[in-house]
């Protein structure tokens, strides 16, 4: 490739500009969460000292009070904000473990065994991928009403015990990575089917297990429409609904809303950026191979 | 091929049981139910009444809000895809260069917004766009002031009126900007993965033959990334058409002034859960589904021409 003197500029200037645009909302979020109510209006990022010139920082404008008030003053129903954090943690943890296990079992079953109805179920899995979620909102609510599962986490978790998308991904992963010879050897050694699944199957598709746990965790953590429809008792709200609701009674408390948002996304963001390689591998696996 | 387990065993059925059971109960049954519901009027889940095709005739003739939402979503889908996808591809092409420094660093930054999730993106951008002191309105205001000074006839209140209030027209750009921020890096990841499929030999051969960068892009790169490209287009399309959280929280549950931020799924939600008519909501759901199925079919026809 021919090099021109301006080539580095043509590469890094757009990249840096995009990076800036990407980072500004994060920086704004962090500054806003640590600013007093008065300081919020004194400058877009750091609180500015009156007459202090361009960079003058008004240190008294920084505060932790948004966070302490979030824990002490905010009531989601009768419970504290902490309850919503725990609800989200519970919801996302259970959902990702159960959903990944169910999807892996389904994928393993379709990939490793020959049985009556296998082709049919495989077709159903592929067909299920194109069913739009919007179609299931109203009748899904009606079903949960009939089952008596409204206002419960069971109503949110049970529909996701083995998502079709995951079954499809795990089927692909098992087909491409698990040699049947190994399974045969295991069987001859008298290994039980369940032991083979857990001790040989799952370890062989470890990257997919990791990626799918992450995808499900994030999807559940940021799921809004499900809990918004199904959960009716405020004490049971996960963070996505609770933080959105903060904007009602505390609509002008920008600092507190941003503190709540930071609590909601900060830990997850940090964790996922550390694990981004596995996460990305999982996201692209279905698209690039298929 | 080695032998698989005997087909008489019950074991394989146990493995697929979680999928089959949850699919039958939570997808097949609701789908059947939604066909019935689409011909019903309900008042909450408890009372329902058969109304024949009334839901559909009402939807097509008596519900201007629904058609507003359809128009909005067409604008949103076209606007967001036309801006996002080329930008995503451009970033991927830059990051795919051999001589790029800090690829992982850039990728991490661009990828971060998708981790925030639509709900929290809507909340953060709600503040960024806040009428009086939001960062974006401030910047846009400074820009309009500047343009006003430079261009004599530049209209005031292009983005918002001079009292810094949201104008109805700003709902759509706000949604497109927020989703651009969130999804550009996400789509870029797919394009970046697809660019690994571009044959280096073919690229070098084209270069030796004197093909310019543009020709190489059209004739070598594009065919190689086409399958993933159509996948990304379909994914963004399906996501865009069913947009809910972003306008619901950023613009308002009713779609804001002039309903400029109302989407079909929001309309479905409002009718089904605020007005309590699950029947009407099901009818809207089917209409959305039919459109999506139609597009998926067309996309399939286009992506493998010649077959069937």
Helix (H, G, I), strand (E, B) or coil at A156: helix
Contact B124 A258 (CB under 8 A): yes
Contact B45 A247 (CB under 8 A): no
- Quote the minimal CA–CA distance from B148 to chain A in Å: 23
Under 8 Å between Cβ of A183 and A91? no
The predicted complex's ipTM stands at 0.89
Listed residue (A164, A231, A212, A149) closest to B28, CA to CA: A164
Q: Which residues of chain A have pLDDT under 50?
A: 289-290
Query: Which residues fall within 8 angstroms of residue B19, CB to CB, at 6 or more apart?
Result: A102, A103, A105, A106, A121, A125, A162, A164, A167
- Quote the minimal CA–CA distance from A78 to chain B in Å: 23
Given A258, A268, A290, which is nearest B127 (Cβ)? A258
Chain A environment of B9 (Cβ under 8 Å): 113, 115
Helix (H, G, I), strand (E, B) or coil at A64: coil
DSSP state of A47: P
Query: Which residues fall within 8 angstroms of residue A280, CB to CB, at 6 or more apart?
Result: B111, B189, B193
B118 touches chain A (CB under 8 A): yes
B88-114 residue pLDDT tens = 999 999 999 888 888 889 999 999 999
B222 touches chain A (CB under 8 A): no
Residue A54, pLDDT score? 65
Residue A206, pLDDT score? 86
Given B27, B116, B273, which is nearest A229 (Cβ)? B273
Given A160, A225, A268, which is nearest B245 (Cβ)? A225
Under 8 Å between Cβ of B279 and B58? no
Contact B18 A102 (CB under 8 A): yes
B33-84 residue pLDDT tens = 999 999 999 888 888 888 888 899 999 999 999 999 999 999 999 999 999 9
Q: Report the alpha-carbon distance of residue B65 to residue B12 in Å, rounded.
A: 50
DSSP string, B25-47: IIIIHHHHHHHHHTTEEEETTTE
Chain A environment of B228 (Cβ under 8 Å): 287-288
Contact B94 A130 (CB under 8 A): no
Query: Which residues fall within 8 angstroms of residue B195, CB to CB, at 6 or more apart?
Result: B92, B93, B96, B221, B224, B225
Contact B94 A15 (CB under 8 A): yes
Given A15, A128, A280, which is nearest B189 (Cβ)? A280
Listed residue (B162, B4, B210, B185) closest to B85, CA to CA: B185
- The pTM score is 0.88
Q: Which residues of chain B have pLDDT under 70?
A: 1-8, 132-133, 152-167, 304-308
Chain position carrying tokens 């950026």: A273
Residue B268, pLDDT score? 95
Chain position carrying tokens 């009403």: A145
Given A106, A112, A130, which is nearest B19 (Cβ)? A106
Residue B163, pLDDT score? 43
Query: Which residues fall within 8 angstroms of residue A273, CB to CB, at 6 or more apart?
Result: B108, B111, B112, B115
B252 touches chain A (CB under 8 A): no
- Can you read off the two tokens belonging to residue B182? 């969130």
Question: Which B residues 21-80 touch A at CB under 8 Å?
Answer: 22-23, 25-27, 29-31, 33-34, 37, 45
- Length reported for chain A: 290
To test the contact with chain A by mutation, choose from B9, B15, B139 the residue with the greatest count of A C-beta atoms within 10 A, namely B15
């Amino acid at each position: 490739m021919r090099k021109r003197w301006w080539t580095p500029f043509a590469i890094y200037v757009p990249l840096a500009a995009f990076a800036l645009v990407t980072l500004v909302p994060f920086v704004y979020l962090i500054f806003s969460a640590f600013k007093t109510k008065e300081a919020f209006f004194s400058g877009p990022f750091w609180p500015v000292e009156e007459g202090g010139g361009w960079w003058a920082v008004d240190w008294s404008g920084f505060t932790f009070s948004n966070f302490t008030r979030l824990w002490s003053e905010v009531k989601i129903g009768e419970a504290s904000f902490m309850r919503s954090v725990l609800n989200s943690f519970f919801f996302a943890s259970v959902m990702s473990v159960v959903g990944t296990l169910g999807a892996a079992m389904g994928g393993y079953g379709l990939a490793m065994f020959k049985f009556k109805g296998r082709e049919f179920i495989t077709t159903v899995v592929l067909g299920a991928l194109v069913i739009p979620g919007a179609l299931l909102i109203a009748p899904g609510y009606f079903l949960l009403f009939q089952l008596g599962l409204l206002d419960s986490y069971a109503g949110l978790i049970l529909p996701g015990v083995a998502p079709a998308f995951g079954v499809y991904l795990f089927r692909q992963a098992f087909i491409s990575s698990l040699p049947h010879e190994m399974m045969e050897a295991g069987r001859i050694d008298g290994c039980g089917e369940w032991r083979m699944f857990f001790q040989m199957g799952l370890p062989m598709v470890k990257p997919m297990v990791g990626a799918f746990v992450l995808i499900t965790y994030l999807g559940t953590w940021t799921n809004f429409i499900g809990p918004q429809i199904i959960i009716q008792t405020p004490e049971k709200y996960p963070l996505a609904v609770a933080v959105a609701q903060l904007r009602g009674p505390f609509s002008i408390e920008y600092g507190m809303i941003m503190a709540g948002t930071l609590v909601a996304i900060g830990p997850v963001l940090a964790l996922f950026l550390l694990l981004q390689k596995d996460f990305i591998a999982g996201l692209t696996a279905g698209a690039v191979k298929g | 091929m080695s032998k698989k387990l005997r087909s008489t065993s019950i074991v394989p059925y146990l493995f697929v049981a979680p999928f089959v059971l949850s699919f039958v109960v939570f997808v097949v049954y609701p789908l059947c139910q939604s066909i019935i519901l689409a011909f019903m009027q309900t008042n909450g889940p408890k009372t329902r009444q058969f109304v024949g095709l009334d839901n559909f005739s009402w939807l097509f003739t008596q519900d201007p809000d629904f058609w507003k939402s359809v128009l909005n979503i067409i604008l949103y889908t076209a606007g967001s895809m036309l801006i996002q996808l080329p930008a995503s591809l451009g970033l991927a092409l830059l990051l795919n260069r051999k001589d790029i420094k800090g690829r992982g660093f850039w990728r991490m930054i661009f990828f971060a917004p998708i981790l925030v999730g639509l709900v929290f993106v809507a909340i953060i951008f709600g503040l960024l766009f806040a009428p009086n002191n939001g960062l974006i309105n401030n910047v846009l205001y400074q820009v309009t002031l500047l343009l006003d000074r430079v261009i004599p006839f530049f209209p005031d209140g292009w983005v918002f009126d001079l009292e810094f209030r949201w104008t109805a027209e700003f709902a759509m750009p706000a949604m497109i900007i927020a989703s651009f921020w969130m999804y550009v890096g996400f789509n870029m990841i797919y394009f970046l993965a697809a660019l690994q499929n571009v044959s280096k030999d073919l690229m070098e051969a084209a270069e030796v033959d004197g093909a310019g960068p543009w020709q190489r892009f059209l004739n070598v790169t594009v065919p190689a990334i086409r399958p993933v490209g159509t996948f990304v287009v379909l994914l963004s399309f399906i996501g865009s058409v069913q947009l809910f959280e972003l306008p619901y929280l950023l613009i308002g549950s009713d779609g804001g002034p002039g309903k400029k931020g109302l989407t079909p799924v929001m309309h479905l939600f409002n009718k089904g859960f605020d007005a309590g008519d699950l029947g009407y909501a099901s009818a809207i759901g089917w209409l959305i589904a039919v459109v999506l199925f139609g597009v998926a079919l067309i996309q399939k026809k286009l992506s493998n021409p010649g077959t069937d």
